[in-house]
Amino acid sequence: MRSVRSIAASIAGTAVVAAGKFVAAAQTALRLQQRGRPLTPDERALLWSVYRDSIGYDGIRIVEGRAGLFGVNKRPFTLGNTIYLKHLDPTAHPSTLVHECCHVWQNQHEGSRYAVEALWAQATVRPNAYHWADEFGRGRASWREFNKEAQAQFLQDVYRSGKGASAAGTAGSFYDGDVIARDARFEHHGTDYTDFARDTIAYVRGLPPP
């Protein structure tokens, strides 16, 4: 049954991403959407600090400002390797860039089915697909089993609240080092998830880019 669902999600995901790219191209030609740009050196360094070499960064594009039909919802989102930040400033909200780049990671490693799975999670998971701690109560013991929005939110929260060994109060410090420091810590609502975060990051970084 799972394989059937996976195949169906892959087919639907391919259609969704293809349709989205068609709309994006039309909007760009009509100047309803700003043209995508490559990552800046600072953005690339930020994302590399989290994902290391598990992502192909050269193909990522950032769309700032106008997003045409995609701007109906104000929340940033990712379509394939294109991140629509809309009017959000990534220098002021770096953890959001980490979240959206997780969807790029999903796209590069799992294919376009991630798009349908993320949309499905947003529509069906209650009370909120982004509440990753609730995934444990659903019997999902590993990050790989989390819904796609919970996966991205977890990496974002580790960036925002994790404490590294050398810079305990600095956002993103948990990700310092190719191997997470033994005395790094990540707590969420009073519960220690350090080991879970360490295992998750090792998994995410361990997969080479496609």
Q: What is the pLDDT of residue 1?
A: 54
HEC string for 107-123: HHHHCCHHHHHHHHHHH
> Is the overall model pTM greater than 0.85, yes or no?
yes
Per-residue pLDDT of the chain (210 residues; tens, 9 = 90+): 556 677 777 788 888 888 999 999 999 999 999 999 999 999 999 999 999 999 999 999 999 989 999 988 889 999 999 999 998 999 999 999 999 999 999 999 999 999 999 999 999 999 999 999 999 999 999 999 999 999 999 999 999 999 987 655 688 999 999 999 888 999 999 999 999 999 999 999 999 987
> Strand, helix or coil at 79?
strand
Strands (E) located in 39-196: 61-64, 77-79, 82-86, 187-188, 191-192
Structure tokens at 32: 């309803």
Q: What is the pLDDT of residue 210?
A: 78
Q: Give the residue carrying structure tokens 């991630």.
A: 114
By the 8 A CB rule, do 68 and 47 touch? Answer: no
Instruction: Please tell me what DSSP assigns to residue 94.
Output: H
Distances in Å between the Cα of 198 and the Cα atoms of 93, 103, 158, 179, 186 are 23, 20, 10, 8, 9
Within the chain, how many helices (H) and strands (E) appear?
7, 5
Q: Give the residue carrying structure tokens 């959000």.
A: 88
Domain that residue 61 falls in:
2-206
Number of domains in the chain: 1
Structure tokens at 208: 């080479």
Q: For the chain, percent helix, then strand, then coil, each to nearest 5?
A: 55, 10, 35
